[in-house]
Amino acid sequence: MNDVMVTGRMSRAKKDAGSRVLEELGINASQLINDLYDYLIEHGHSPFQTPTDSPKTVSKEQLTSALTHIDSLCLPAKNRFREMTDNQIRQERLSKRGLVEA
């Protein structure tokens, strides 16, 4: 394998602080850069940024599951009035107030 060199610029303070952390982690800058490049190649974006130009593809099953979940959050629990006509609802409400007999 022919290795090539990648060069980057940063302040001396940043390099020294980063080198201390890398030493604590037991890796060196070359290993970290290789790991970063491996991530970029595999995922197509930086681990520090959200990809904006490639929309995530979602299966029909995932979409159906998500919509079902959203509906369960947005819709009220089963409502007994849902199955009643407007007239039946009026009759029940008036009955509870004692204005008509049930």
pLDDT, tens digit, 9 for 90 and up, residues 40-98: 899 888 888 766 655 667 788 888 888 887 777 765 556 677 778 888 888 888 888 88
- 12: its two tokens: 């001396």
For tokens 């593809």, name the residue.
57
H-helix segments, the chain? 12-25, 29-43, 60-74, 86-96
| 44 contacts 51 by C-beta, under 8 angstroms | yes
User: How much is the pTM?
Assistant: 0.47
